[in-house]
Amino acid sequence: MPRDAARQWIANLFQNQWKFKLLALAMAALTYYAIRSATDEEKDFVVPVEVELNPGIAVLAKNPDQVEVRFRGALDDILKIDQTRLKAQVRVPDATLGGRPQPVIITGRDILGARGVAVTMIDPPRVMITFDHEVEATFSVAKLQTIGEPLLGKVELQYSPQSVTIRGPKTRIEELKREGHDQVIADPVDVDGRVESFSKRMVVRSPGGSWASKIEPSEITVEVTIIKKSVTRAWSSLPVLAIRGTDAAGRVAVEPSTVDIMLEGRSELLESISERDIRIFVDCEGLSHDATNSVPVQVHLPVFMDVTVSAVPKTVSVSFPKE
């Protein structure tokens, strides 16, 4: 078919076949709305405001300290946004000192932590920031508190370091020091249901809010010792068994032939022990048959018994009388 004839045939097709026209228009509309719906999801997040400053300058006040940000994009990208990674980071190279609030505009370029989405709203779009000289001071770490109770025993806490260095606005630090608020704090240590000692790292926070420019170190190491409550239980006049080789002959004399036993440990363990569980013996292997031997008393308990054992006396005399 000649080229001109082909063109004329296609033109006639679309001029006369109005159904094809409607179908093409419908498909275009569906494609448009499908693309729009795929990229038209919106969600609002509350985002903290952070200020990047030149050295020697600190933020004394910030109002507000967080803003509401609306993101628009594909549903998959919206769902990938991690609230904890979001922040509005503004840089103020011309900060003015003197105690008067300075307006700072937040734009979409200042919103960090989200990819593949657009910022369509920031509320409010402006924050008022008061700047001050930055100074450094030492703050001690306040006594740590605990939450809950261990399964057994009591808790002792030790932590290091005992103090930290804080950099922040001069006015705020001087005010805290003057009022006696010179300690940083950490969250309580959860010891509920614990049975063994453990250690963990805890983040410390400045007193009176998050005004500090920097805390160094920002964490302390806490050693949590679980001191298990113990009780004692005693048995009197338990017989001492002489252990010898299977080929040994002759009589063995043990003096005294009975000893007193005291066990110390957790109450639930000691309550489970009866007299028949305790085996007391002396090892006679290799002893001289021509002399009286001083031999330490040994005590056997059921396996895995976390208890302390003491015998009175600790040693007995072992001899081998002649027949």
DSSP result, 182-221: -EEEEPPEE-TT--S-EEEEEEEE-TTSS--SEEESSEEE
The CATH class that applies to domain 136-227 reads mainly beta
Provide the Cα torsion 41, 45, 49, 50; round to 10°.
-70
pLDDT at position 269, please?
Answer: 79
Q: Is the pTM of this model over 0.95?
A: no
Look at residue 85 and tell me whether its pLDDT is greater than 70: yes
Report pLDDT digits (tens) over 243-283. 987 767 788 999 999 999 999 887 777 888 889 899 999 99
Kindly give, in sequence order, each residue whose CB lies less than 8 Å from that of residue 139, ignoring residues fewer than 6 positions away. Answer: 163, 164, 165, 166, 182, 183, 184, 206, 207
Query: 41-133 with 136-227: one CATH topology?
Result: yes
Q: Where are the domains of the chain?
A: 3-38, 41-133, 136-227, 231-319
The CATH class that applies to domain 41-133 reads mainly beta
Question: Whose structure tokens read 């030149």?
Answer: 54
pLDDT at position 315, please?
Answer: 96
Architecture of domain 231-319: Beta Complex (2.170)
Report pLDDT digits (tens) over 28-51. 666 655 555 555 789 999 999 999
Look at residue 81 and tell me whether its pLDDT is greater than 60: yes
CA 99 to chain centre: 39
Compute and round to an integer the Cα radius of gyration of the chain: 40
